[in-house]
Amino acid sequence: MNYRKSIGFLYLKARGDKFPAVYNNIKKSTELRDFENVGNKSLSEILKHCKNNVPYYKNILDSVDDIELRKGDPIGIIKKIPSLTKDIIRRHFQDLQSKDLYERIWYFNTSGGSTGEPIRLIQDREYQDRANAVTHLYYWLVGHDIGKAMVKLWGSERDILEGSVGIRAKITNYFWNIKLMNAFRMTPEKMKQYLFLLDSSPPDLVLAYAQSIYELALFAERNGIREVAAIGCEHPGSGGLWVAPWGCYVEIVDEYDNPVPPGVEGDILVTSLINFAMPLIRYKIGDRGVLSPDSTTPSGLRGQILLKVSGRNVDMFKCRDGTLIDGEYFTHLLYFRDWVRKFQFIQKDFDLVAVNMVKTGEDVPDNDLEDISRKIQVLLGKGCRVEYNFVEDIFPSPSGKYRYTISEVEFN
């Protein structure tokens, strides 16, 4: 019996979380192959909500009546909406919020800045429950059930800066049987511990930043340590990434937002089907990808399949003692700093980091730069100098990819 899952679900239900019910419903629909029209229904629901409750979209969808939204062609309707960029979100932040926001249990979140352009967003409890359910559905599809052993090679700046993980996270990790390995402080000693953990207690699933797990594998190879088990996020046999129709709708478009044929690479637009507090329709995430011409996986799952995703490059920063720091750490340092429109961290030397920044036009709060420098020095050392350069724009590399963390340091 999976007692961790049972007790964990009881704990969440007692706390008022709808995650267990949402997860069980989605899982049941998937087992019954009951998702032929799930995507269209979800898309119609979010579009109807946008027309009736979100000022930004109401102006665009005024010509579409509610009957058409319910029974019409939501995929055709959504193409009437221009793609959503980060600049548009900043300019129309108030108009993108749902009118019923204050009836919801909502909170501010941030895009994380993984494209080098952080933005502030609004999400609510319903979004959180549905997003978690879709995430765990993906785990289940690769053979992992809640409560089985999982290892996360992930970023925890709180563990570095405050020396602890929050009590709520500790409870959740216990019930879900999750062990954390910090990708933001990968010293040689830590990496040996991580590999020993993976070898002595092989987990059912490993979730990791791609660059961090790659560096860990290189470390194992250089030091003659046995490689870790196979890792994957895609649905087995799908030949790509299966997009669950409960979570989002994906489009691939050219530079003018026109759809490209399946099998052709283009910009990825994502419509969230679960964020009703601040809907994001046709959101341009900054990655490029390819949709499969075939909408059915070998196992019979129907829906969208991303054959390929390509985007920005992330460098690992390096310390003299061999410690590696995933570039994601630096995006966390800019959470909720609304004066930052675009950024790029460049490690010039072990003790020198240059930070290129494009401002939104807002003033830089007192002590913000000092706070960022201090948090960089926590990992790279107190002697590390941080130089800030305020520029008009930051351009992609010649390959067309935007690199928001660059390390020019090489180990001997």
| 139 inside domain | no
Given 281, 308, 335, the domain boundary residue is 308
Mean pLDDT by 10 residues, the chain (412 residues): 81 86 86 70 89 90 71 81 89 92 87 69 89 87 87 72 64 84 84 83 84 81 50 52 83 89 88 90 85 71 76 76 85 86 92 93 89 92 93 74 82 57
Same-domain status, 122 and 181: no
Same-domain status, 162 and 249: no
| 384 inside domain | yes
CATH number for the domain that contains residue 274: 3.40.50.12780
Given 261, 278, 308, the domain boundary residue is 308
| 231 inside domain | no
Q: State the pLDDT at residue 332.
A: 83
Q: State the pLDDT at residue 387.
A: 95
Given 158, 189, 222, the domain boundary residue is 222
Q: How far is the C-alpha of 326 from the C-alpha of 184, rounded, in Å?
A: 5
Same-domain status, 77 and 218: no
Same-domain status, 82 and 13: yes
| 169 inside domain | yes
Q: State the pLDDT at residue 227.
A: 37
Domain encompassing residue 393: 317-407
Candidates 243, 168, 245, 179; CA nearest to 206 is 179
Same-domain status, 7 and 126: yes
Q: State the pLDDT at residue 9.
A: 87
CA dihedral (27, 28, 32, 38) in degrees, to 10, reads: -70
| 402 inside domain | yes
Same-domain status, 98 and 214: no
Same-domain status, 194 and 61: no
Same-domain status, 338 and 303: no
Q: For the chain, how many structural domains are there in total?
A: 3
Q: How far is the C-alpha of 111 from the C-alpha of 333, rounded, in Å?
A: 13
Q: State the pLDDT at residue 389.
A: 94
Q: State the pLDDT at residue 65.
A: 67
Q: State the pLDDT at residue 351.
A: 93
CATH number for the domain that contains residue 352: 3.30.300.30
Q: State the pLDDT at residue 220.
A: 80
Strands 352-359 and 385-390: parallel
| 127 inside domain | yes
| 233 inside domain | no
Cα Rg of the chain, angstroms: 22
| 227 inside domain | no
Q: How far is the C-alpha of 155 from the C-alpha of 132, rounded, in Å?
A: 18
Q: What kind and span of H or E run contains 304?
A: strand 304-310
Token reading at 70: 């319910």
Same-domain status, 327 and 304: no
Candidates 328, 310, 319, 214; CA nearest to 267 is 310
Same-domain status, 72 and 51: yes
Same-domain status, 78 and 179: no
Same-domain status, 248 and 291: yes
